[in-house]
Chain A
């Protein structure tokens, strides 16, 4: 070993005189650089924090197809099919909402597939659908599902409801079209019968009486059939006032004609000339109304209200763009919490707190220096991530300064949570565990995938205690809508920052005193 150097170890006292305020800053800077140097010596950490999430986002964007669940479905048709509804038409209607894998008439085959999980849903369409309808009973489509995901079950129920509506509409269109066909033929008879009523008014010979009575009966039967096949009064009424009167006029005509037939049989027809005139007038009215009815497109009659949709922004964003603010908020928060969670516990366990206590440093210098170190690092990582997002087409429509401010506040609030975890943890592994729990909480309760409104009020304190909840909402406003974040976002992040900082100071002070 070499001999000791002859140079004195005592430093010149003059060389270490530095103003007090400068010393304060130097001490803060000491922690700042220590944290920055420690992090920059971990290239894998940097890669995993920036490149990793970006790759995940790109993978998500390039492979994501649809947010609606694909419900694999089998349809069991009745043996004779559905009259008026082609199988292809049925495929189209059901295929709108469901992934139609099988159309069969064998219910056992479909049930076997459902039991093995090869399909998720069976729809059994009813027999004699029109006859059942005519008998006044609503035919039922039986849906049997085999799903374990509660969200998917909700979707299945909603889509089944929508499909039944669509089928109802289709059936209504079919029956209306049929009614229109028949009504067109009956209308000819109505016009023809006006002449017969005029004949009745002028007096009818004994020889014509029997034939007239038969004509009258046949005509009444046609009107009864018309009454049966006409769409429900609500359907007619929702179209126009004229059609609203169709069924009342028809009813009145049928009643009057039965009276006429009775008078014809009783030979009292001459006493009711006024009623005959009135009936002829009603027939004219019926003829006109039927003309309106048969000339309306069945679709228009069944669905008078049309959907008109316009998105102020042209169209919604792609899923990858929509989720980008959430991913950004999640990454900023998770990085800050993870780094913060190890910031104090590691040094406390290695005995550095004892050295800090002996040295002329204050607790505030320690915490501020560490905060600054992490803020700079996470800020740079976030900047790299934002640039990468912009490159892949994620917009930033809002104010850049507000965006920077919100990001900074999100970092500080998240660091506060991380530091708090660190202050409370007894070991590195415990700190990491708590950081992972905070990640899990954030994914469920921040509104990232599940809307905040989906939770009971009792969960709201948890929602608001998560920095990402506020960051996510603010980023979505700024990036995707071009609007400033709500005051709630600013306030929430500010409160989390202040409260966690205060708690960290209090807890760390106690720990330092015990060091």
Chain B
């Protein structure tokens, strides 16, 4: 094992599991450094769960190699499994058991003694605000409480690596945010998390984001890196006072190649320009100066870094991935 691998919780190279008819995961290459959150984002059926199952050792890759916590997952020992936590997509909750009994059951599967369970359960119930529901039966819990109960179950044995398969699906935005607070807190305490989601905006909470489509990982990067990768940098949105100056402004900025990566008229606008630079906040004053210094002056009515949503970034990534396929078919 190399020094780099030691610091990676998961390392996958060319992993493929082909279920036939285009289903499965293909040529997956990614790494998850220890102590980070990897968010797997993609539409339903894109292979997020399969990717997790391969990393958990529930499925063996037909091609490629993968290591989780430095071990081949299909050869995990009981000790290896004790270091991993898992929140499945499907609720596994026994409706006739109380919250405490559900937790005790899962914790006992990991070999924890009754004393250990009691101590740890108190901590974690407090962590997810379920202390008062300790004796409530599973069948009487709300959807959000059930989700939190699943999280507690997965954390009882204090895993160093936690897989959470769409833990925020179908819950309200407040609780969703709360879950990400839990996850970031766990990350801050040194755990590694792999979280799948269909909600693109949750990418912002992750240290790394893997964008998935049809079993393939289109891109793995930090959220900011992903933004840069798609947009080519950051965007400054300029509104010119006089629409007549659009042409001159475009020409001026395009000549300034050492700073401006690209510039174009904003969609559906006659006065707005989108200027792509490496760092929008850093280069915004210089861009304004450059335009103001032209003779005659190009007056800028307003200018600000443009906040492109991750939905847009995701859509652009999808479109980019779609384009070669359409070309092939066309």
Q: Enumerate chain B residues within 8 angstroms of A42, measured Cβ to Cβ.
A: 96
Is B56 close to A, CB under 8 A? yes
Q: Are B94 and A34 in contact (CB under 8 A)?
A: yes
Q: Are A34 and B97 in contact (CB under 8 A)?
A: yes
Q: Are B92 and A351 in contact (CB under 8 A)?
A: yes
Q: Are B92 and A34 in contact (CB under 8 A)?
A: no
Q: Are A26 and B111 in contact (CB under 8 A)?
A: yes
Q: Are B189 and A10 in contact (CB under 8 A)?
A: yes
Q: Are B123 and A358 in contact (CB under 8 A)?
A: no
Q: Are A358 and B97 CB-contacts (below 8 A) given A4-B127, A11-B120?
A: no
Q: Are B111 and A27 in contact (CB under 8 A)?
A: yes
Contact of A355 among B77, B86, B97, B123 (CB under 8 A): B86
Q: Interface readout for B78-97 with A: 1 if CB under 8 Å, 0 if not? A: 11111010101011101011
Q: Enumerate chain A residues within 8 angstroms of B96, measured Cβ to Cβ.
A: 37-38, 41-42
Q: CA A353 – CA B91 in complex, angstroms? A: 12
Is A490 close to B, CB under 8 A? no
Contact of B109 among A8, A22, A360 (CB under 8 A): A360
Q: Which residues of chain A from 338 to 370 have a CB within 8 Å of any chain B CB?
A: 350-352, 354-361
Q: CA A30 – CA B97 in complex, angstroms? A: 13
Q: CA A361 – CA B112 in complex, angstroms? A: 12
Q: Which residue in chain A gives the minimum CB-CB distance to B137?
A: A41
Q: CA A42 – CA B96 in complex, angstroms? A: 8
Q: Which residues of chain A from 18 to 75 have a CB within 8 Å of any chain B CB?
A: 18, 22-24, 26-27, 29-30, 33-34, 37-38, 41-42
Q: CA A258 – CA B226 in complex, angstroms? A: 140
Q: Which residues of chain B from 282 to 324 have a CB within 8 Å of any chain A CB?
A: none
Q: Are A7 and B129 CB-contacts (below 8 A) given A30-B109, A37-B97, A354-B88?
A: no
B206 to chain A, nearest CB (A): 18
Q: Enumerate chain B residues within 8 angstroms of A359, measured Cβ to Cβ.
A: 81, 106, 109-110
Q: Are A8 and B158 in contact (CB under 8 A)?
A: no
Is A108 close to B, CB under 8 A? no
Q: CA A24 – CA B111 in complex, angstroms? A: 7
Q: CA A357 – CA B97 in complex, angstroms? A: 21
Is A148 close to B, CB under 8 A? no
Q: Which residue in chain A gives the minimum CB-CB distance to B105?
A: A34
Q: Which residues of chain A from 416 to 459 have a CB within 8 Å of any chain B CB?
A: none
Q: Which residues of chain B from 48 to 82 have a CB within 8 Å of any chain A CB?
A: 56, 58, 77-82
Q: Are B108 and A29 in contact (CB under 8 A)?
A: yes
Q: Are A11 and B158 in contact (CB under 8 A)?
A: yes
Is B251 close to A, CB under 8 A? no
Q: CA A27 – CA B157 in complex, angstroms? A: 13
Q: Enumerate chain A residues within 8 angstroms of B126, measured Cβ to Cβ.
A: 5, 7
B260 to chain A, nearest CB (A): 43
Q: Enumerate chain B residues within 8 angstroms of A205, measured Cβ to Cβ.
A: none
Q: Are A26 and B181 CB-contacts (below 8 A) given A7-B127, A41-B137?
A: no
Q: Which residue in chain B gives the minimum CB-CB distance to A352?
A: B92
Q: Are B92 and A8 in contact (CB under 8 A)?
A: no
Q: Which residue in chain B gives the minimum CB-CB distance to A7?
A: B123
Is B116 close to A, CB under 8 A? yes
Q: Are B129 and A18 in contact (CB under 8 A)?
A: no
Is B281 close to A, CB under 8 A? no
Contact of B88 among A26, A351, A360 (CB under 8 A): A351
Q: Are B112 and A9 in contact (CB under 8 A)?
A: no
Is B185 close to A, CB under 8 A? yes
Q: Enumerate chain A residues within 8 angstroms of B105, measured Cβ to Cβ.
A: 30, 33-34
Q: Enumerate chain B residues within 8 angstroms of A515, measured Cβ to Cβ.
A: 58
Q: Are A9 and B92 CB-contacts (below 8 A) given A1-B129, A38-B97, A360-B82?
A: no
Q: Enumerate chain A residues within 8 angstroms of B181, measured Cβ to Cβ.
A: 4
Q: Which residues of chain B from 185 to 200 have a CB within 8 Å of any chain A CB?
A: 185-186, 189-191
Is A316 close to B, CB under 8 A? no
Q: Are A18 and B113 in contact (CB under 8 A)?
A: yes
Q: Are B112 and A354 in contact (CB under 8 A)?
A: no
A358 to chain B, nearest CB (A): 4
Q: Enumerate chain A residues within 8 angstroms of B86, measured Cβ to Cβ.
A: 355, 358
Q: CA A5 – CA B174 in complex, angstroms? A: 17
Is A202 close to B, CB under 8 A? no
Q: Are A15 and B174 in contact (CB under 8 A)?
A: no
Q: Enumerate chain A residues within 8 angstroms of B90, measured Cβ to Cβ.
A: 350-351, 354
Q: Which residue in chain B gives the minimum CB-CB distance to A13?
A: B158
Q: CA A33 – CA B114 in complex, angstroms? A: 12
Q: CA A27 – CA B181 in complex, angstroms? A: 32
Is B101 close to A, CB under 8 A? yes
Is A16 close to B, CB under 8 A? yes
Contact of A354 among B58, B116, B158, B174 (CB under 8 A): B58
Extra contacts besides A11-B123, A42-B96 (16): CB < 8 Å: A1-B174, A4-B185, A9-B124, A10-B158, A16-B112, A27-B108, A27-B111, A37-B97, A37-B101, A38-B96, A41-B137, A351-B90, A355-B86, A355-B106, A360-B78, A360-B79
Cβ contacts A to B, 13 pairs, < 8 Å: A16-B112, A18-B113, A22-B111, A26-B111, A27-B109, A30-B109, A33-B101, A34-B101, A37-B96, A41-B97, A356-B109, A360-B109, A360-B110
